[in-house]
Structure 1
């Protein structure tokens, strides 16, 4: 019998690996519903859906290895990053999904709320929070909604050599800002942005991507802390925020 590996577990969801299968258990069945629908619509490689019996979704493992992990240099080639950019562009060029995504007002309200919490709890120096809040303003502008993955972390893209073999974890997919996906993918790996955009093509706004690095790190930090993760680990969210202080 295959051993059971706990891939991730917290109060909202857990993912288990059993052989070449993943079992995703979510307290909110809507997440799996979105994931299933998004994977059937996305014009990029996604895991095969084996079965779905709420609250459990079973998917097949995708071949290859993750593009990298947060806090360590990505071992993937420049060509693999460019192929990833091309895959993300295909996604963004596809018709957006029919459900509602987060709007500008939602994002702005979340940013205000999370910055207030960070300041009240003094988890970072106030000047780091305030400077990144200023940088994040560039992301708070009207955008043309596209099909976004919504949680396009570097660990969610799998490659084999220079080919993208699968993109996983689609529960946050929705209409949204293309620059958010590009920023999430390069968070903590800013040095690979040129490689990614070489495949993505025209239309990327580097200032907005930079703003999303700050914004995403600010709004994610409380959730990470409250669910047992460490945003202060090397190369993670707090380091991303501190790095902005060294920029002109």
Structure 2
């Protein structure tokens, strides 16, 4: 029998790998429904679904290697990052999926969540008040009207697989749906600002860099408590806290 590896595990879901098969365990069946639905609609390479027996979804491993990992230097060549930008553009140009995703939260919802998280970070002494205040100001630029596109919603670099300068697979679609295009572009370049130009070159459209930077601050501010409460360390070099410091 192949070795069973725990890819990720926390109170909301877990992913195990057995050979070339990934087993995703998620008690939220609606979230799993969304993942299956949008993978069928996405015009980019996605994992093959082998079988589903709630609460487990079995998918095949995709070829290639991950684009990178947050907190680690990227050794991926510029052409590969540009290919990722082109794949994101293809996704964003596709017909809209039927429901909003993680990147489709309303301005009011995001603002309320941002206020609550900033207060928690300062009140509990997690981050200095000036660091939180500055990034809260930067994040304001993301709170603006936007036209919905087909978004992945959690396009961190560990979810993108490449081989040479070709995108071979994009995984973890549970947050996908209608949303803000710049959220995806900001997520894939979070912690790798030096790769933003390559991604935009492949994307092939003008983007508002101020909003990209705003999403870096916003995503980091909103994520720190969740990461800490689910066994992840946002203070790891190159990760969320360092992203916030870079915005100073």
Answer yes or no: same fold by TM over 0.5: yes
Work out whether 1:51 is the aligned partner of 2:54.
no
Among candidates 139, 150, 170, match of residue 173 of structure 2: 170
Which runs of 5 or more structure 2 residues have no equivalent in the other structure? none
Among candidates 183, 186, 191, match of residue 188 of structure 1: 191
What is aligned with 1:198?
A: 201
What is aligned with 2:247?
A: 244
Find the residue that maps to 1:98 and give its secondary structure.
coil
Residue 67 of structure 1, CA deviation: 0.3
Find the residue that maps to 1:50 and give its secondary structure.
strand
Residue 95 of structure 1, CA deviation: 1.3
Among candidates 125, 144, 147, match of residue 141 of structure 1: 144
Find the residue that maps to 2:8 and give its secondary structure.
strand
- The RMSD of aligned alpha carbons is 0.8
Distance 1:168 1:162 in 2: 18
Deviations 1:164-198 (A, max 9, x none): 00000000001110000000000000000001011
Deviations 1:14-59 (A, max 9, x none): 0000000000001211111111001000000000001111111100
What is aligned with 1:80?
A: 80
What is aligned with 2:132?
A: 129
Is contact 1:103-1:176 (8 Å) kept? no
Distance 1:100 1:65 in 2: 29
What is aligned with 2:92?
A: 92
Runs (4+) of structure 1 moved beyond 2 Å?
Answer: none
TM-score, normalised via structure 2 length: 0.97
What is aligned with 1:42?
A: 42
